[in-house]
Amino acid sequence: MKIMIVEDDLLIRNQLKKELEQWEYTIIDVEDFSKTLSIFEDSEPDLVLMDIKLPIYDGYHFTKRIRSISSVPIIFISSRSDNMDQIMALEMGADDFISKPFDMDFLITKIKSSLRRAYTYDSSDKKDALVLIIHINGLKELRYDEFKYTLSFDERTVELTKTENTIFKKLVNNIGNYVTRDSLIQECWQGDDYIDENTLFVNISRLRKKLSSIGLDNFITTKKNVGYRIENANL
């Protein structure tokens, strides 16, 4: 599991890194805060530890941006611990809030709990699985479980984020036809004015990489000024 630390206090950052590495987590250490989002997109961490006060923007800003492209767990760690700070963090999309100073064992427990909730599938929490069979070139089958957020093809399986799953479901429901960018943005983010096409592009790119990893290259095509569609497949 990879944990990204967005903390400008070098002492705290090093303490976190040392402790988490002892638990065999891979640490993504942000030092240049102007690159926070690009580091997140490139490294795809499984969890983010976020401070509020940062040299560039703040933790609220980065959390909202991350939430626009990912459902990764985000835990705030901050000395600003009044109710409004905690409410703001949760409204921006944080999963938990821990006040400084904190007990390291308590933090580890919170991290484990967040990872377990995010990445362990419990069938009692969701509807009975509905697996959709998508025929590829009339020869092979892609199995899509929209509730587990999984795609399986040629004995390989990938898991999708919530946003990737929403995009894929929209494309499948319109298979063979182009889906406009505006339609996908509306489906994923319900018309949030903060979202732009770059956010959609990042999610489409990740989805394409995951499809490619199971042997489905060029499965989603783009037509300029029109939109996206699934190619060479039918239900």
Average pLDDT taken over every residue of the chain: 86
Give the pTM: 0.56
Tell me the mean pLDDT in the region 98-120.
85
Query: Looking at the structure, do residues 159 and 113 belong to the same domain, yes or no?
Result: no
Query: Looking at the structure, do residues 102 and 22 belong to the same domain, yes or no?
Result: yes
Domain count, the chain: 2
- Confidence at residue 209, expressed as pLDDT on a 0 to 100 scale: 92
Query: Looking at the structure, do residues 31 and 85 belong to the same domain, yes or no?
Result: yes
Domain limits at 60?
Answer: 2-122
Query: Looking at the structure, do residues 59 and 170 belong to the same domain, yes or no?
Result: no
- Confidence at residue 120, expressed as pLDDT on a 0 to 100 scale: 57
Query: Looking at the structure, do residues 22 and 52 belong to the same domain, yes or no?
Result: yes
Tell me the mean pLDDT in the region 187-199.
65
Q: Does the structure show a pLDDT above 50 at 127? A: no
CB 94 within 8 A of CB 50: yes
Query: Looking at the structure, do residues 115 and 201 belong to the same domain, yes or no?
Result: no
Helices (H), the chain: 10-22, 36-43, 59-67, 83-92, 104-119, 162-173, 181-189, 197-213
Compute the distance between CA of residue 165 and CA of residue 228 in angstroms, rounded to an integer.
Answer: 15
Query: Looking at the structure, do residues 55 and 146 belong to the same domain, yes or no?
Result: no
Tell me the mean pLDDT in the region 76-105.
85
